[in-house]
């Protein structure tokens, strides 16, 4: 009984001290920020390209 509690205590302590999960969270946050920036930039870029093609179409007509 005592050895089972000791193993449980050691495993809980190793989970609390581990940093493997922290790395995954940081990578997830970084990927989320990059995706948010890309989406916002592509939205404004699409509007600019649309305006350019409209201007070209008007000048050709």
* pLDDT score at 58: 92
- Phi (first) and psi of residue 18, to 5 degrees: -70, 150
* pLDDT score at 16: 66
Among candidates 33, 49, 44, which has minimal Cα distance to 57?
Answer: 49
Global pTM? 0.49
* pLDDT score at 51: 93
CA distance 26 to 32: 10
CA distance 9 to 38: 45
* pLDDT score at 8: 77
Distance of CA 32 to the CA centre of its chain: 2
| pLDDT tens-digit readout, 3-54 | 877 887 887 777 667 666 677 788 889 999 999 999 988 888 998 999 999 9
């Amino acid at each position: 009984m005592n050895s089972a509690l000791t193993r449980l205590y050691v495993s809980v302590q190793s989970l609390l001290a581990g940093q493997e999960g922290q790395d995954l969270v940081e990578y997830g946050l970084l990927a989320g920020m990059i995706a948010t920036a890309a989406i916002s930039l592509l939205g404004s870029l699409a509007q600019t390209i649309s305006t350019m093609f409209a201007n070209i179409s008007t000048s050709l007509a």
